[in-house]
Structure formats: C-alpha cells, structure tokens
C-alpha cells in the first residue's frame, strides 16, 4: 500500500473546513450553548417524597405517577430515586422534558390528590407528599477555565519538547494540531448536540493527551526516518513529499492501530450505554469524535503540512548551497586575512 | 539465560501474576464462618458520581422552607385551630410563597423577596459553589432549586464509615458555614467588631501529608498576614492563651494547640483529626473560599436530610464498563499473540504486570477516583503501552530481516525504538503532570491516572516486557520460529 499525501490545495481546504466547523461550533456554543447533560441542565420536575420503603410500594408509586404524567401530556426525561441516608424516607424525582421554568406546583397538588385517591396498597397518604420543583444548574466556571488552562499548558509543553528535540516545524505543527483537535472535538460535540456536562472537559483532556501521543509518535518516527534517509542519500535524498510519505507508510501503522483500538473501546462503551444508561453512550460518542479527529489530524493533516514546510526549507537550503554563500564568506575572510598572514610569515622568516 | 533458570522464573512470574490478578479483579468473596468478605483491590477503588452514585442534599437559607414543610405546618395549624389551641405553632400565614418555596414574611416585601435577601442568597450560592469546586470532586453538581434553595450532589466521600474519614454530613455541614475567616485565641460567638482575614492576609489553603499525624491543612500567609499572625500570637502569649482557633463565621474550622511563642512564619501547618486527605481538603476548600470576599455570605444554610443516589450512568455501569474494557484488553492480548507469537507472549506478561500495578496504584493511592474521564485515561495509557511494545517488536523484525542474528536483532530493535519511546513518555508524563497540577475535578483526576499509567507504561515497555522476552527466549529450540520470524536461506552454490 502506498500512502499519498494530501495535496496543498486539499490541505488548505481541509484546514479551512476545520476552521469553519470550529467557528460554527463557537457560534452554537455562544448563542445556544452545549446540549446540557442532565446533571448540568435546568429542568422542571415533580418530586414524590416520604415513606415508601415497604416492599413494592415505591415501584407502585413510581408506576402510578409515571402513567399519570404521561396521560397528562408530560414527557418524563428521567426518573431519579434518592434514598435517605439516615431515615426511612425516599424521594422519587420525575424530571420533565420541555420548559425548565414551567410552574409544576398546581400540577403537583393535583397529583397529590390523585395519589391519595389511588388506593395503592400500603400507601400512607399523610406520609407521602408531592411537590413541583424547578432546578437551574450553576455553571462550574473555575473548573472550565482551569481545564482550559491545563490544555493550553499541555500544548505549550508539546510544542517546546517537539521543537527542541525534533524540529521547529514539527513543534509548530504539533501545537496547531493539538489546538485543532481539542477545538474541533468540542465544536463537533456542540454541533452534533451531544449532551455535555462536566465530563465533556474530561473528553477535551483526553483529546489533548491523545493528540500529544499521536503527534509525538508520528513526528518522532518521521524525524528519525528523514534523518536516516538524508544520511544515506546525501545529495540523492528523496524529495520532501516522498520522504514524508515513505516515513508515514512505515510509521503510520502504529498510530492507526492505536486510534482504531481506542475507537473500538468507544464503540463498545457506546453500545454498553444503550443497556446501562444513555449517558454512557453520549460520553463514548464524544470520546469517539475525539479519537477520530486526533487520528485524522495526526495521519492526514500534520504530515501533509509538514511536507509543505519541509519542501520550502529544502528549497531554501538548496538555494543557499547553489550560491555557496558560505564559501564566498570564507573566501572573503581568507582574502582579508591574507596580508596579515604574509606579514607574519615575513617577520618569522627574518 | 539457562533453561532451568528460565523455567523457574516463568513459573514464579505466572503464579505471582495469576494470584495478584485474581486478588485485584475478582468480585468480593465471603470468608467462611465470619461476616467478613475478601474484597478485591479493584472493588476498593473510589468511584465518581457517574459510576458509583453519591449523596444529595438541599440547602435552605434561614427563613426559607420547602413545600412539604409548609404543607406540614399548614395541616398542623389547621388541626390545632380546629381544636382551638394554636399556641406554640408556626402560623402558615407567616410565610409567603415565592417560586417553589415559602419565605418567612420578614424576608419579603409586597409578596416578593427583598433585595437584601436576594443579594444574600446570591452570595450564598457563589460561596457554596466555590467550596464544592475547590473540593475537586470527580463529578458533582450544584443547582438552584425553586429559586431560593441549593441542591448539591456529590460522590461518595472517601471512607464513609471510617472514624477518621468524613461522612457526607461532615462535608455538607462544613460547606454551609456562613461568615468570613477569623483567627482568635479564644472561642468566637459573635463576629461583630472583628476583622475578617482575606486574601490580603492569606494566599490560600492546601493539604500536606503529615506522616503519622495523617494530613495537615496548610495556610500560606502574605507578608501582611504573617505580621498579623505574629501580633496575634504574641498577644496570645501575653494573655496566656495556648490554643489558636480558626473560625469561619462562628463555626470553628481548626484549632492549633500549644502556642507558647510568637509565630512569625509564612506557612502554618495544622494537623488535627484528618485521617484522610479528603477530610483535610474539605477544611482547606472552605478556608480558600472565604478568602475572596465575594464568596462570603451571612445567611445561615440548613439541610434536613441527606439522600443517596444511584450512579448517573446506570445502576451497573461500573461493572459493565469494567467488563467491556477487560474484554477489549483480552482481545488486544490475543491479537498480540497472533501477530508476534513469542514476542506477543512477552507482551502479554508485560501488559498483565502493567495492569496489575495500575490496579494496585488505583486501590492504594489516596485521591484517585474512577469516573468515565479516568476510564478514558486508563484506556489511553494502555494504548500507549501496547503501541510502544509493538513498535519495538516491529523494529526487531526489521532488524532481523536485514540479516542480523536474533539476539543482535532484539538488541538493536530495542535500541532503535528507545529514543522515540523515551521521548513520547516524557512528553506524555509532562502533559499529564500539567493537567494534574492545573486542572480541577474529573480532569485533574484523569491527569493523575494518566500520569501513573504513563510511568508504568515506560517501566513495563522498557524493562518488564524486554525482561520477559529474554526469559521466554531461553526455552524454545527454534527461537526464530518462536518469534514468528522467517529467514530466507541463501544457498551458496559454490
């Protein structure tokens, strides 16, 4: 299999596409926000609380209330069960879809009446109360900005190490790729309306670390391959694009296997989430997006961009070699030093 | 390595690995005749709210009651009124319905909360939110409920049943303290006339390991704070007071005994009954929050009940995730065996050692909580470990194909992969360390898990797998076939 690098035009088009997606994602986040996950979203709810631990009573109350809410046209987004830590009380929270500011107090009073008249066996009507509530999530700003700063520092660490240890161009591209990967992951999560809570920051960190791993792996391999080819080839070294493509051809397998393995984990977790809780599916989908974006950038965008940089630097080097500035300088210096050297020789002879 | 030595090492390694892995990942086993159970290492790991559930409570500001509470007051009052004796009972007319809660009439004006109460509640919300953020929980939520109450969900605190640990009640109580930060040589019952210490005096509070004394809360003073502390402790010595109290409002947060001389230091370590890091962290988070005057509130917050809740990703999400990830690891090991045969076997032993050490670190190190971000960190670190083992194997294969002997190929294959393996592990360890030191909450814990994973990956890739490869290579007669290599024999015709 022969790998063909992206042409300059396609590369520019893909960077532009990524930029467009990031900008679109930023607009969506700015104007509509992320699709908030249940733990981070505002919602109206109906809460049934009190003594209901007796065998099967809670399940009966839950079924009755869920049926009543459905019959009255409400969509229950999730049912949460809270058990008192020190008493015998339970709470059943029916979180409703739709207007989070909806006033459910009147409805709760009606539901209380219906529950009292329901005749559910074992229900002590005086011990169970129904209330209508509204919850507004308080955003964790410190958490978000500190995670953002941490990702920024990861980018700088990657840039410094790769630029110093490998090549400056590789360092710059690693930095750009990491920013691209994290921002594109977040933008796609916003555009695809993947429910996002605090865990999305975890996915962003995952994207940053995965990007650092793939970029280091691909560029590290490329650097040693190119260096070896230059040593062996001398003047007959391969052109930049061919050298990068050849290195990618042998070195991409490892990175690709890692991305495929991680994507497989995400797919399996997404499937598991369908049975345990849909939140896991959404989290795994966000992670899958991160893995795909990082793989695409490390295996397609970065090598092609590096080939362009290398082409230019090779051309500049060739240009320098052609005019042999170094030799001219040397010659000029030798010419300048010549009279002094002659004088010294004469003096020595005398 | 001799064959006998190799056999002994393989048998020993297999027994030790099998036994420790069994103890690490098997479900709890009852110990016959006793009520105790043998817990696996993995089952002792702390879980975030998404995989392990947690505790929930609702804070009500002073003068605010919930709908059920109001309904109770109403019914009790109606009964008493019918009996003609309402003495000592709260009158429901003293409450005004605002949003989904009931406010004491004195907190309202024309049926709406007064501006002063609204400002106080906003400050309380800021303060409480900051405290839970400072605590760095892996998954928590703070919500405004019904306009004027605060709902909080947290993961299970470390060592809920431990005598020196912290209960959810301790956390919820501590984070409800109203008022600013005060240092005093005597108990504070009223903060009127006292000057609160702010970030001009104290830079921040942290936690440090105090050896046998458990953990300590560390207070870092500014130069101004250092001077104030010196003046205060010098006055205490004059007044023969030996205990320095740290208060938040009128609630005692810390006490430092044995003050016998002026304290003129920029850092103060306070040890106490902090048996766990989490317990010390709660007090540090509280103190940190009140240093910023924006987060200081004056209204009292109360909660009536603490509830437990199931994992937010589903009742059995943790087990399902563990089984899925375990199964995928098993598939990965099978692929390694198919692709690299003998070298794959070395990878299997290296990987199992890595997993075992990882589980031990997660179970034994404090402050590690597994949530989904942590699971991703574990999987990514396993991918790093596998990638670099396979990279070394490919290099060995390439070197062998150039005509080198197997031993020379292994040596030179590892040598060839050494630089990139070290480079990548350094970059990843530095990145994980940065995330651990800078981020908070789930991201910070994911950073810590990835840091541990990267260090273990480096050790297992560079040393453990290579060691096992040498041990296994001592066994087969045809070492080349054992490694799944093929050499094209060039017959010399002459």
SS3 state at A95:
strand
Residues B366 and B296 in one domain: no
Instruction: Determine the distance in angstroms separating the CA of A257 from the nearest CA of chain B, rounded to an integer.
Output: 8
Are B229 and B159 found together in one domain?
yes
Q: Is B213 a residue whose pLDDT tops 80?
A: no
Q: Is residue B13 part of a domain?
A: yes
With CB atoms and an 8 Å threshold, state whether A280 touches B67: no
In 3D space, the residue among B376, B367, B366, B330 whose CA is nearest the CA of residue B351 turns out to be B330
Query: Pick from B43, B49, B58, B57: which is nearest to B155 by CA?
Result: B49
Q: What does the pLDDT average to over B192-204?
A: 88
B179 & B252 share domain: yes
Does residue B333 share a domain with residue B429?
yes
pTM of the model: 0.85
| B422 and B456 fall within a common domain | yes
Of A105, A153, A265, which is closest to B100 when you measure between CB atoms? Answer: A105
Domain count within chain B: 2
pLDDT band at A3 (very low <50, low <70, confident <90, very high): low
Residues 6+ apart with CB under 8 A from B492: none
Lowest mean pLDDT among B38-47, B110-119, B233-242: B38-47
* Domain limit, last residue, from B278, B309, B340: B309
pLDDT of residue B491: 46
Whether B423 shows a pLDDT value over 60: the answer reads yes
Whether pLDDT at B42 is above 60: yes
Three-state DSSP state, B400: helix
pLDDT at B398 over 50: yes
> Which of B58, B65, B141, B385 best probes binding to A when mutated, by most A CB atoms within 10 angstroms?
B141
Number of helices (H), then strands (E), in chain B: 13, 20
The whole-number average pLDDT for the span A81-93 is 83
**Alpha carbons B330 and A261: distance in angstroms, whole number:** 12
pLDDT at site A324: 60
Query: Which residues numbered 20-79 in A keep a CB inside 8 Å of some CB on B?
Result: 38-40, 49-50
What average pLDDT does the structure give for chain A? 84
Strands B369-370 and B46-47: parallel
**For chain A, which domains are there?**
8-36+139-325 (1.20.1640.10), 42-135 (3.30.70.260)
Query: Cβ separation of A161 and B427 shorter than 8 Å?
Result: yes
Q: Does the distance separating the beta carbons of A275 and B450 come in below 8 Å? A: no
pLDDT at A326: 56
**Domain shared by B144 and B215, yes or no:** yes
Query: Residue B382 domain-assigned?
Result: yes
Tens digit of pLDDT for each residue in B170-189? 899 999 999 999 998 888 88
**Which chain B positions have a beta carbon within 8 Å of A147's beta carbon?**
439-441, 443
Percent of chain A at pLDDT above 70?
89
Q: Percent of chain B beyond pLDDT 90? A: 29
Residue B186 lies in a domain: yes
B131 contacts in A (CB within 8 Å)? none
- The whole-chain average pLDDT of chain B stands at 86
Q: Which residue has the higher pLDDT, A254 or A293?
A: A293
Q: Three-state SS across A225-261?
A: HHHHHHHHHHHHCCCHHHHHHHHHHHHHHHHHHHHHH
In a domain, B140, yes or no: yes
Answer whether B307 sits within 8 Å of A83, measured CB to CB. yes
Nearest Cα of chain A lies from the Cα of B144 at a distance, in angstroms, of 5
Dist CA A319 CA A317 (whole Å):
5
Quote the pLDDT of residue B265. Answer: 87
pLDDT of residue A216: 92
pLDDT of residue B477: 81
| Same domain, residue pair B196 and B295 | yes
Q: Which residue of B has its CA nearest to A39?
A: B141
Q: Tell me if B490 is assigned to some domain.
A: no
Question: Mutate which of A161, A265, A271 to disrupt the B interface (most B C-beta within 10 Å)?
Answer: A265
Question: Which of B266, B289, B309 marks a domain boundary?
Answer: B309
CB B119 within 8 A of CB B299: no
Half-sphere exposure (CA, 13 Å, Cβ side) for B6? 14
Domain that holds residue B467: 3-45+315-482
For residue A1, pLDDT over 60 is answered with no
Contacts of A340 (CB under 8 A, 6+ apart): none
pLDDT of residue B108: 86
B494 part of a folded domain: no
In this predicted model, which residue has the larger pLDDT, A158 or A237?
A158
Q: Decide if pLDDT at B494 tops 90.
A: no
**CA torsion through residues A115, A119, A121, A126, sign:** positive
CB A83 within 8 A of CB B315: no
Taking the Cβ of residue A203 and every Cβ of chain B, the question of whether any pair is shorter than 8 Å is answered with: yes
- Phi and psi dihedrals of A239, rounded to 5? -60, 155
B293 lies in the same domain as B379: no
* Cβ-defined contact of A82 to B307 (cutoff 8 Å): yes
What residues of B are in contact with residue A165 (Cβ under 8 Å)? 423
Taking phi over 0 as left and psi of -120 to 50 as alpha, with beta for the rest, B50 belongs to: alpha
Contacts of B435 in chain A (CB under 8 A): 150-151, 153-154, 205, 208-209
Residue B303 resides in a domain: yes
Preferred mutation among B47, B143, B153 to probe A, highest tally of A CBs within 10 A: B143
Within 8 A of A158 by CB-CB distance, chain B residues are 427, 431
Q: Are residues B369 and B452 in the same domain?
A: yes
Asked if A261's CB is within 8 angstroms of B332's CB, the reply is yes
CATH number at residue B19: 1.20.1640.10
- Check residue A333 and give its pLDDT: 67
Q: Among B143, B313, B321, whose Cβ lies nearest the Cβ of A136?
A: B143
Q: Residue A340: pLDDT above 80?
A: no
Tell me, yes or no, whether B226 and B209 share the same domain: yes
Tell me: do B92 and B139 sit in the same domain: yes
**C-alpha distance from residue B170 to each of A295, B87, B175, B177 (Å):** 46, 35, 8, 11
pLDDT of amino acid B50: 86
Chain B positions touching A39 (Cβ under 8 A) are: 49, 139, 141, 153, 312
Nearest-CB residue to B384 (from A135, A143, A213) = A213
Interval A91-110 mean pLDDT: 86
Angle between helices B372-401 and B406-438 (to 10 degrees): 160
Per-residue confidence (pLDDT) for residue B241, from 0 to 100? 85
Domain final residue pick, B248, B278, B309: B309
CB distance B144–A138 less than 8 Å? yes
Residue of B nearest to A161 (CA): B427
Domain contains B60: yes
- Of A99-103, A336-340, B357-361, the poorest mean pLDDT is in A336-340
Q: Quick one: B63 and B200 in the same domain?
A: yes
Tens digit of each residue's pLDDT (9 = 90 or more) over B329-351: 999 999 999 988 888 999 999 99
């Amino acid at each position: 299999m022969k790998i063909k690098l992206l042409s300059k035009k396609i590369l520019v088009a893909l960077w532009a596409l990524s930029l467009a997606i990031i900008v679109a994602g930023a607009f969506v986040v700015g104007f509509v926000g992320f699709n908030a996950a249940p733990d981070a979203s505002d919602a109206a709810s109906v809460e049934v609380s009190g003594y209901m631990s007796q065998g099967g009573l809670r399940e009966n109350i839950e079924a009755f209330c869920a049926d009543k809410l459905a019959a009255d046209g409400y969509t229950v987004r999730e049912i949460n069960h809270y058990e008192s830590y020190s008493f015998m009380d339970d709470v059943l929270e029916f979180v409703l879809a739709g207007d989070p500011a909806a006033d459910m107090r009147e409805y709760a009073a009606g539901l209380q009446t219906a529950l009292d008249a329901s005749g559910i066996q074992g229900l002590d009507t005086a011990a169970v109360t129904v209330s209508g509530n509204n919850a507004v999530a308080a955003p964790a700003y410190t958490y978000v900005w500190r995670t953002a700063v941490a990702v920024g520092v990861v980018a700088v660490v990657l840039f410094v190490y790769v630029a110093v240890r490998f090549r400056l161009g590789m360092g710059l591209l690693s930095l750009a790729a990491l920013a691209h990967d994290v921002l594109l992951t977040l933008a796609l999560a916003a555009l695809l309306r993947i429910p996002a809570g605090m865990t999305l920051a975890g996915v962003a960190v995952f994207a940053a670390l995965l990007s650092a791993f793939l970029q280091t792996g691909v560029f590290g391999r490329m650097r040693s391959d190119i260096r070896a080819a230059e040593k062996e080839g001398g003047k007959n070294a391969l052109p930049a694009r061919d050298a990068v493509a050849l290195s990618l051809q042998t070195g991409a397998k490892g990175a690709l296997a890692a991305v495929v393995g991680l994507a497989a984990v995400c797919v399996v977790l997404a499937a598991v989430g369908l049975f345990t809780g849909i939140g896991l599916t959404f989290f795994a989908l966000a992670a899958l997006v991160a893995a795909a974006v990082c793989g695409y950038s490390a295996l397609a965008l970065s090598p092609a961009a590096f080939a362009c940089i290398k082409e230019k630097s090779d051309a500049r080097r060739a240009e320098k070699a052609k005019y042999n500035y170094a030799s001219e300088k040397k010659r000029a210096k030798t010419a300048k030093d010549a009279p002094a050297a002659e004088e010294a020789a004469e003096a020595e002879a005398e | 390595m001799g064959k006998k030595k190799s056999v002994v090492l393989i048998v020993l390694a297999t027994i030790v690995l099998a036994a420790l892995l069994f103890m690490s990942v098997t479900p709890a086993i009852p110990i016959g005749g006793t009520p105790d159970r043998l817990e696996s290492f993995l089952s002792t790991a702390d879980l975030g709210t998404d995989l392990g559930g947690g505790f929930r409570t609702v804070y009500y500001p002073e003068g605010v009651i919930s709908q059920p509470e109001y309904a109770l007051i109403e019914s009790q009052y109606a009964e008493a009124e019918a009996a003609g004796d309402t003495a000592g009972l709260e009158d429901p007319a003293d409450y005004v319905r605002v949003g989904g809660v009931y406010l004491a009439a004195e907190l309202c004006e024309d049926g709406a909360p007064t501006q002063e109460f609204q400002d106080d509640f906003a400050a309380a919300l800021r303060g409480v939110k900051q405290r839970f953020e400072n605590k760095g929980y892996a998954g928590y939520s703070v919500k405004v409920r019904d306009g004027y109450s605060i709902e909080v969900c947290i993961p299970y605190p470390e060592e809920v049943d431990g005598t020196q640990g912290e209960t959810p009640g301790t956390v919820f109580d501590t984070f409800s303290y109203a008022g600013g930060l005060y240092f005093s040589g005597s108990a504070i019952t009223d903060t009127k006339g006292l000057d609160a210490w702010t970030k001009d005096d104290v830079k921040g509070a942290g936690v440090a390991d105090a050896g046998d004394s458990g953990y300590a809360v560390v207070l870092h003073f500014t130069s101004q704070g250092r001077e104030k502390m010196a003046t205060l402790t010098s006055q205490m010595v004059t007044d023969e007071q030996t205990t320095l109290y740290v208060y938040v409002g009128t609630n005692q947060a810390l006490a430092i005994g044995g003050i016998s001389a002026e304290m003129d230091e920029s850092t103060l370590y306070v040890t106490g009954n902090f048996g766990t890091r989490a317990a010390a962290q709660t007090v540090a988070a509280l103190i940190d929050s009140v240093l910023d005057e924006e987060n200081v509130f004056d209204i009292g917050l109360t909660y009536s009940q603490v509830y437990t809740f199931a994992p937010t990703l589903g009742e059995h999400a943790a087990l399902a995730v563990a089984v899925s990830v375990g199964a995928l690891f098993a598939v990965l090991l099978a692929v390694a065996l198919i692709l690299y045969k003998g070298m794959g076997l070395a990878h299997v032993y290296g990987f199992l050692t890595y997993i075992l050490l990882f589980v031990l670190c997660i179970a034994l190190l404090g402050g590690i909580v597994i949530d989904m971000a942590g699971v991703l960190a574990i999987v990514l670190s396993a991918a790093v470990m596998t990638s670099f083992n396979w990279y070394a194997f490919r290099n060995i294969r390439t070197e062998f194909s150039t005509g080198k002997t197997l031993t020379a190929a292994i040596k030179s294959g590892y040598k060839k992969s050494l630089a990139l393996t070290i480079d990548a592990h350094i970059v990843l360890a530095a990145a994980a360390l940065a995330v651990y030191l800078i981020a908070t909450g789930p991201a910070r814990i994911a950073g810590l898990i990835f840091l541990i994973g990267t260090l273990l990956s480096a050790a297992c890739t560079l040393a453990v797998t290579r060691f096992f490869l040498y041990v296994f290579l001592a066994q087969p007669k045809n070492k080349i076939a054992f490694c799944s290599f093929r050499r094209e024999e060039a017959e010399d015709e002459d």
